[in-house]
A and B are shown apart, each in its own frame.
Chain A
Amino acid sequence: NAGVTQTPKFRILKIGQSMTLQCTQDMNHNYMYWYRQDPGMGLKLIYYSVGAGITDKGEVPNGYNVSRSTTEDFPLRLELAAPSQTSVYFCASSYDRDYQETQYFGPGTRLLVL
């Protein structure tokens, strides 16, 4: 079991460029999440998905898009990158959203927008 994997590990973007952050999980989890973490801050939820074909906005969705065509994959798309999107992005997954359910995190993608 690889768990939750993310690619790339690090990326530098120029302002206005776009990119897709990849996230894959092999635990057959229904729920997947994208968070961003700015220095000295906690994690902020960007988008989440409760299953293939179903996504919803989190706390900070502006500037991002997601899709979920399969159970395993949950890519995050950045359009027109801005310096404010410089952050570390974590993907997470859980089998359910029962109150006891644990989220498992990927290793993160560090993004720098210049």
Chain B
Amino acid sequence: QKEVEQNSGPLSVPEGAIASLNCTYSDRVSQSFFWYRQYSGKSPELIMSIYSNGDKEDGRFTAQLNKASQYVSLLIRDSQPSDSATYLCAVRGGSQGNLIFGKGTKLSVKP
């Protein structure tokens, strides 16, 4: 059973701080990794994707991938109250190439 694990949180950070969200996955042949943000009562929204080892930056967001450790993370710099949401890690892999989602980490940014 292919799995994606996330700390469910809640993770609470003060406004302006760096929020660090982590995700591990079990399928070594996974090729692509996604971070979705989901506000309460809303649908998931893609915020970052990463395919190669290392860092990928987009504005205040940085995704980090380490395939050897089967680990992917998301850093949010200068966290804002509007970043308060649940962040879902998703991994694509396996023979069918479907996405496997973690349970999500709830982030709360306090003003």
| A-to-B contact residues, CB < 8 Å | 33, 35, 40-45, 48, 56, 58, 90, 97, 99-100, 102-108
Q: A residues within 8 A CB of B99?
A: 43, 45, 103
Q: A residues within 8 A CB of B45?
A: 105
Q: A residues within 8 A CB of B44?
A: 43, 90, 105
| B-to-A contact residues, CB < 8 Å | 4, 8, 31-32, 34, 42-46, 49, 51, 88, 90, 92, 96-99, 101-104
A63 to B111 alpha-carbon distance, docked (Å): 45
Given known contacts A58-B98, A105-B44, A106-B43, A99 and B8 CB-to-CB distance under 8 angstroms: no
A107 x B43 contact (CB < 8 A): yes
A40 to B106 alpha-carbon distance, docked (Å): 9
Residue of A at shortest CB range from B4?
A: A42
A99 x B92 contact (CB < 8 A): yes
Residue of B at shortest CB range from A105?
A: B43
B43 x A102 contact (CB < 8 A): no
A41 to B44 alpha-carbon distance, docked (Å): 13
Query: Total number of A-B contacts with CB less than 8 angstroms?
Result: 50
Q: A residues within 8 A CB of B103?
A: 40-42
A56 to B32 alpha-carbon distance, docked (Å): 22
A100 to B56 alpha-carbon distance, docked (Å): 14
Q: A residues within 8 A CB of B46?
A: 102-104
Q: B residues within 8 A CB of A44?
A: 101
Q: B residues within 8 A CB of A107?
A: 42-43
B102 x A45 contact (CB < 8 A): no
Given known contacts A99-B31, A106-B43, A43 and B97 CB-to-CB distance under 8 angstroms: no
Given known contacts A42-B101, A43-B44, A107-B42, A100 and B32 CB-to-CB distance under 8 angstroms: yes
B43 x A97 contact (CB < 8 A): no
A98 to B107 alpha-carbon distance, docked (Å): 30
Q: B residues within 8 A CB of A40?
A: 8, 103-104
